[in-house]
Chain A
Amino acid sequence: MTPAGSLLAAHDLHKTYGSTPALDGASFSVHPGEVVAVMGPSGSGKSTLLHCLAGIVTPDSGTVTYGGRELSAMSDAGRSALRRTDFGFVFQFGQLVPELTCVENVALPLRLNGVKRKEAEGTALEWMARLEVDDVAAKRPGEVSGGQGQRVAVARALVATPKVVFADEPTGALDSLNGERVMELLTESARTAGTAVVLVTHEARVAAYSDRDVVVRDGRCRDLEYAV
Chain B
Amino acid sequence: MSIGHTLLGLLESGPRHGYDLKRTFDEKFGHDRPLHYGQVYATMSRLLKNGLVEVDGVESDGGPERKRYAITDAGITDVAAWLAQPEKPEPYLQSTLYTKVVLALLTGRDAADLLDAQRSEHLRLMRILTDRKRQGDLADQLICDHALFHLEADLRWLELTAARLGRLAEVVLP
Contacts and interface: CB of A to CB of B under 8 A. Distances in A.
B148 to A, nearest CB: 6
Contact of B155 (A204, A210, A217): A204
Interface string B49-83: 00000000000000000000000000000000000
Contact of B129 (A41, A207, A208, A211): A208
Given A41-B159, A41-B163, A184-B134, A208 B127 contact: yes
Interface string A201-228: 0011101111101010100001000000
Contacts of A209: 127, 130
Contacts of B126: 204-205, 207-208
B10 interface: no
A205 B127 contact: no
A204 B163 contact: no
A204 B127 contact: no
B152 interface: yes
Interface of A: 41, 184, 203-205, 207-211, 213, 215, 217, 222
Given A41-B159, A184-B134, A209-B130, A204 B116 contact: no
A42 B163 CA distance: 12
A194 to B, nearest CB: 19
B163 A207 contact: no
Interface string B115-133: 0100100110011011000
9 contacts: A203-B152, A204-B151, A205-B126, A205-B130, A208-B123, A208-B127, A208-B129, A208-B148, A217-B162
A215 to B, nearest CB: 7
Given A204-B123, A204-B155, A215 B148 contact: no
Nearest to A210: B127
Nearest to A184: B134
Contacts of B163: 41
Contacts of A205: 126, 130, 148-149, 152
B126 to A, nearest CB: 4
B116 A208 contact: no
Contacts of B119: 215
Given A205-B126, A205-B148, 18 more contacts: A41-B163, A203-B152, A204-B122, A204-B151, A204-B152, A204-B155, A205-B130, A205-B152, A207-B123, A208-B123, A208-B126, A208-B127, A208-B129, A208-B130, A208-B148, A211-B127, A213-B123, A215-B116
Contacts of B162: 217
Contacts of A204: 122-123, 126, 151-152, 155-156
A222 B115 CA distance: 13
Contacts of A184: 134
A223 B168 CA distance: 27
Interface in B129-150: 129-130, 134, 148-149
Interface centre among B134, B148, B163 (most CB of A within 10 A): B134
Contacts of A210: 127
Nearest to B126: A208
A208 B148 CA distance: 9
A59 B46 CA distance: 70
A145 to B, nearest CB: 22
Interface centre among A41, A203, A208 (most CB of B within 10 A): A208
A169 to B, nearest CB: 16
A84 to B, nearest CB: 32
A215 B123 CA distance: 12
